[in-house]
Structure 1
Amino acid sequence: MERRNLLRAAVLGGTAAAFGGTLWRGAAHAAPAQPGAGPYGALGAADANGIRLPSGFTSRVIARSRQKVSGTNYTWHDAPDGGACYADGSGWIYVSNSEISSTGGAGAVRFSSSGTVTGAYRILSNTNVNCAGGKTPWNTWLSCEEVDRGYVYETDPWGVKAAVRRDAMGRFKHEAAACDPQRGVIYLTEDVSDGAFYRFRPTTWGDLSSGTLEVMVGSSATSGSVTWARVPDPTGATATRNQVSGTKRFNGGEGCYYANGTCWFTTKGDNRVWAYDAAAQTISLAYDDSLVTSGTAPLTGVDNVTGTASGDLYVAEDGGNLEICVITPAGVVAPFLRVEGQSASEITGPAFSPDGRRLYFSSQRGTSGSSSGGITYEVTGPFRT
């Protein structure tokens, strides 16, 4: 039996939770997503920025690495990576990590209500390979170091308060974080080939200075029940993923996004999008490129992930043909945009403005293929909100 069919047989019976919760209420028999017509139609020709978009959508460049952000004195950082948006009065702020060794950190761009750039500034400096992270309900940005025994830093998107290192959240090769306010936990991914999936329970919700780090425990199956166990030593003197017997392994944890009782996270090593149903404590596959039953898998090199109130997930590619793909609540996966002429780059940091009408993301290495060539974009159009 071909690997695709074998895996499909193994998971098809247990994937109803892949689209669990009210966010995915339209998926009656939620097998892993399959290619189909996207909600916005086919991609058009590349625009002046080299981006192919559906009809009705437009793009603009917001910032370029090593160049001043237009209208400001701030020089945009190299290798822009994970990002998030924050309401700022009638405008908003987009924050972005810098995946650079030793001097990484994060920066931010402020926008007026009309989308005009009104400021840009640094919010975190001199940290190490800041890859992804996550937004908290109390409007801070968790910037994660993707190095062995890396830290999580809690930062202020407004750049007023000093960043704070959050040791209690564990030391490992951090990738992304997603907050679950219903249960008072933060989910964390780990970017190694035999990585784990974690959750951090703050002693007091909203205060990350202390708490308990837990790791997911379960069989090697791609669907079914899981449990959580306390990590004895979050300092990582012994790798956190190797401290608890039965830790469930994931091949290269990447993006992480929570909404309405479900935490979605991606694993780049096997091109999967996972869904954790927090109420049922079950895990399943929302997408697996090896389970595409016809045609070519549209989504490969899965990486950062975000979503909208409509229930659509947007998954960025590190590799593939440099697309952001949309996975709909009906279980259809399709390209939303494609970046042309930047094959040595990756797409990072997808995040929507608070009103859901603008999507921000970066091409980490741009046309040059170098970390100094990063480009941060905005896409505007009739998004489903």
Structure 2
Amino acid sequence: MPPHQDTPLTSRRRLLQAGGAGLALASLGCTGRKLARAGASTVTHAGYGPLRPVADSNTGLPLLQLPEGFGYTSFGWVGEELAGGEPCPRHHDGMGVVAVHGDVVTLVRNHEITTDPGGSFAPAQATYDPDCRGGTVTLRFDTRAGRLLDMRPSLSGTLVNCAGGVTPWGSWLSCEEIVLDAGQRVPIQGRGMHRMKRAHGYVFEVPGDGLARPEPLLAMGRMKHEAATVDPASGIVYLTEDQKPAGFYRFLPRVPGQLARGGRLQMLQAAGVPDLRNGRRQGEVFRVRWVEIEEPDRGFHDGRDDTGVVRQGEAGGGSLFTRLEGVIIGDGRVYFTSTNGGDAGCGQLWAYRPGEETLELVFESPSPEVLDYPDNIVLSPRGGLVICEDSEQPVQRLYGMSEDGGLFEFARNDVVLDGFRGISGDFRAEEWAGACFSPDGRWLFVNNYRPGISFAITGPWRYGLI
């Protein structure tokens, strides 16, 4: 429909079935580790052993199931008071470690807010569109004491802050996963229709300390952004787009490390293959070119739908994917997932090699039993990785993948609340999000999306697992 008509504002929720062996086997290759071949049959692993309910050291509640010897503390709950007096918003999503000073780790956490009332929770100088409640919160956690030190707003007035990525220079790229024009009307819960004061669909940079400058990085495009990763050698930013169809992009900054100074946005073209959504063979390798996006701020196509950027790329010869999600760089490769790509519609894992300008279909799931809807993954400093589950299962699992490709459950969401902090409900089916490790590897930080809780997990970690 035309962008200025009244339209419902909906939030995309990722669906990731249990499993994920193929994705994990392939993704770990980006660390240079030797693993079982991508696409091999699922291998189970004993991991850290059976799970059992464990009491939260902060609240005393049994919020998680973990293996023997592991413990955790909850922090940064929805509704807790932020510095400045605002309540912490809900929908805890992407998160990353942006700084460490001695024992203190600084994290920036996204809040994927769509239609919540209340407007910006950040100070005016860090507010983009004042009636919008998405944004980021910056948290400082003392790893020696195992407790939260403080929590403050760092960006707000944005919408649907889903994923993003950490930069090598100590900031967080927070990505809006929605495209709206200034003047477009959307519903706000209990408040009727709200007219957007500014356009949305951008990437914002949040510093590790202080407030964000609430200006979008226009040159990085206006689209349904998902995740970002930065090549520390070149400063090039690789971007995914959660859209049908979607493009895979790179942003060449005018000055590496200074994204606000602009640059060029390009979309990947696999030579001779305009459509990569299905009909491909695992192991296929394609030569890569890059197509210029001449108008990165053109979010709408023909004034009707929110595919303005990807349609520009397609017109220039760029190749189409579907619903691109996680992206990570390492060992000379950029891996990214297509959550519903492939002939079975269950997901693909792609690897782009900047040094060779090639693209390979590393893995394609043949069925939901093998892998269904791959999303974001987090590499462990000990080998292996953590997989955040966002599926239709009644209880969401946090998976580990050992260095040799064995899949195991590491944790289960056990959040059931009966009036605690004014919250009641069974939240065991809510997704895990935002997993990241402290630089020393002792703590795994991860979010419960709803009602909105962060956890810091520690215990007898072992090399080769996670």
Question: What are the residue-to-residue correspondences of 1:155-166 with 2, within 5 Å?
Answer: 155-160=206-211, 162-166=213-217
Matched letter for residue 456 of structure 2 = E
Displacement of 1:356 in angstroms is 1.4
Q: Deviations over 1:256-304 (max 9, x none)?
A: 2222222232333233443333333333455544368xxx43x544322
Displacement of 1:20 in angstroms is 4.8
Partner of 1:290: 366
Displacement of 1:361 in angstroms is 1.3
Deviates more, 1:226-235 or 1:267-276: 267-276
Q: Deviations over 1:331-372 (max 9, x none)?
A: 44333322245354221111111111111111211xxxxxxx
Partner of 1:126: 157
Residue in structure 2 matching 1:51, options 59, 64, 86: 64
Whether 2:179 is the aligned partner of 1:105: answer no
Displacement of 1:198 in angstroms is 0.9
Q: Deviations over 1:125-182 (max 9, x none)?
A: 1111111111101101111001026000011132245344211111100011111122
User: TM-score, normalization: structure 1?
Assistant: 0.83
Q: Deviations over 1:300-347 (max 9, x none)?
A: 443222212344232212215422323444344333322245354221
Residue in structure 2 matching 1:196, options 233, 242, 247: 247
CA distance in 1, matches of 2:339, 2:453: 22
* Structure with more strand by fraction: 1
User: TM-score, normalization: structure 2?
Assistant: 0.69
CA distance in 1, matches of 2:313, 2:160: 27
State the number of aligned residues. Answer: 357
CA distance in 2, matches of 1:374, 1:328: 28
Deviates more, 1:208-217 or 1:277-286: 277-286
Kept in 2, the 8 Å contact 1:33–1:331? The answer is no
Kept in 1, the 8 Å contact 2:28–2:385? The answer is no
Go from structure 1 to structure 2 and tell me whether the alpha carbon gap of 1:188 and 1:85 turns closer, same or farther (over 3 Å shift): same
Partner of 2:269: 217
Q: Deviations over 1:55-107 (max 9, x none)?
A: 332222112211237x9966322111100013331111121101012210100
Go from structure 1 to structure 2 and tell me whether the alpha carbon gap of 1:244 and 1:363 turns closer, same or farther (over 3 Å shift): same
Residue in structure 1 matching 2:101, options 66, 89, 93: 89
Kept in 1, the 8 Å contact 2:445–2:455? The answer is yes
Q: Secondary structure at the match of 2:134?
A: coil
Go from structure 1 to structure 2 and tell me whether the alpha carbon gap of 1:197 and 1:328 turns closer, same or farther (over 3 Å shift): farther
CA distance in 2, matches of 1:202, 1:300: 35
Partner of 1:171: 222
Q: Percent identity?
A: 32
Kept in 1, the 8 Å contact 2:241–2:247? The answer is yes
Runs of 4+ off more than 4 Å: 16-21, 71-74, 285-289
CA distance in 1, matches of 2:210, 2:133: 17
Partner of 2:39: 32
Matched letter for residue 33 of structure 2 = R
Kept in 2, the 8 Å contact 1:212–1:230? The answer is yes
Partner of 1:351: 436
CA distance in 2, matches of 1:17, 1:280: 19
CA distance in 1, matches of 2:289, 2:383: 26
Displacement of 1:34 in angstroms is 4.0
Partner of 1:42: 49
CA distance in 1, matches of 2:360, 2:65: 32
Superposed CA RMSD in Å reads: 2.8
Partner of 1:252: 323
CA distance in 2, matches of 1:88, 1:202: 26
Go from structure 1 to structure 2 and tell me whether the alpha carbon gap of 1:227 and 1:382 turns closer, same or farther (over 3 Å shift): farther
Matched letter for residue 225 of structure 2 = H
Whether 2:194 is the aligned partner of 1:150: answer no
Partner of 2:169: 138
Q: Secondary structure at the match of 1:126?
A: strand
Matched letter for residue 185 of structure 1 = I
Kept in 2, the 8 Å contact 1:257–1:265? The answer is yes
Matched letter for residue 377 of structure 1 = F
CA distance in 2, matches of 1:337, 1:66: 25
Kept in 2, the 8 Å contact 1:18–1:274? The answer is no
Go from structure 1 to structure 2 and tell me whether the alpha carbon gap of 1:72 and 1:35 turns closer, same or farther (over 3 Å shift): farther
Matched letter for residue 350 of structure 2 = W
Kept in 2, the 8 Å contact 1:131–1:146? The answer is yes
Q: Deviations over 1:185-212 (max 9, x none)?
A: 1111111121111111101110102111
Whether 2:453 is the aligned partner of 1:375: answer yes
CA distance in 2, matches of 1:376, 1:329: 26
Q: Deviations over 1:244-265 (max 9, x none)?
A: 2443333222222222222232
Deviates more, 1:220-229 or 1:347-356: 220-229
Deviates more, 1:99-108 or 1:163-172: 163-172
- Runs (5+) with no aligned partner, structure 1: 1-11, 366-372
Go from structure 1 to structure 2 and tell me whether the alpha carbon gap of 1:208 and 1:374 turns closer, same or farther (over 3 Å shift): same
Q: Secondary structure at the match of 2:219?
A: helix
Go from structure 1 to structure 2 and tell me whether the alpha carbon gap of 1:170 and 1:161 turns closer, same or farther (over 3 Å shift): closer
CA distance in 2, matches of 1:47, 1:57: 8
Go from structure 1 to structure 2 and tell me whether the alpha carbon gap of 1:158 and 1:118 turns closer, same or farther (over 3 Å shift): same
Matched letter for residue 168 of structure 2 = P
Whether 2:75 is the aligned partner of 1:62: answer yes
Displacement of 1:24 in angstroms is 3.2
Go from structure 1 to structure 2 and tell me whether the alpha carbon gap of 1:273 and 1:262 turns closer, same or farther (over 3 Å shift): same
CA distance in 1, matches of 2:101, 2:376: 27
Whether 2:351 is the aligned partner of 1:266: answer no
Partner of 1:334: 408
